[in-house]
Amino acid sequence: MSKLTPGLNRVLVLPDAPNEKIGNLLVPENKKKIPNHGKVIAVGRLTDHYAELPNPPKAGMTIHFRKDWENLAGYEIALEGVKHYLFHIDYVLGYIK
C-alpha cells in the first residue's frame, strides 16, 4: 500500500509494464513505448467539480491516460523502488474493464 497521499485532484497510478517482445523479437530498451494505462493506487481529495463526475476514479481501477501527461504537469516518482505516475485527474481518458 502506498504511503503517499496525492494532492488535490491528483491520481497516483502504477503503470503497466511495457511490452518486452513483439512476436518473437525482443524490443530494445530505447524503443519501448511508455505505457498509457495502469492501476490507480490512490486518489487525492476531489473538488466539487470532480466529485460530481458520474464515475470518478477510485483505487483499484484500471485506467487509460494521456500519453503526454509527463510534458504537461505529471511526475514520475519511485515508491519503494517501483515507478509510479502522479498526475491531474484531467489526464484520465477512461476506464478499462
Q: What is the pLDDT along the chain (97 residues), one digit of tens a residue?
A: 568 889 899 999 998 877 666 677 777 777 667 778 899 999 999 988 888 888 888 999 999 988 776 676 788 899 999 999 999 898 898 998 7
pLDDT for 16: 84
Q: Is residue 84 part of a domain?
A: yes
Burial of 68 from C-beta contacts in 10 A (0-12 / 13-18 / 19+): exposed
Structural domains counted in the chain: 1
Domain of residue 48 covers 10-96
| CATH classification at residue 77 | 2.30.33.40
Give the DSSP letter string of 30-89: GGPPPP-EEEEEEE-PPPHHHHTSSS---TT-EEEE-TTHHHHT-EEEEETTEEEEEEEG
Q: Is residue 46 part of a domain?
A: yes
Q: Is residue 50 part of a domain?
A: yes
Q: Is residue 4 part of a domain?
A: no
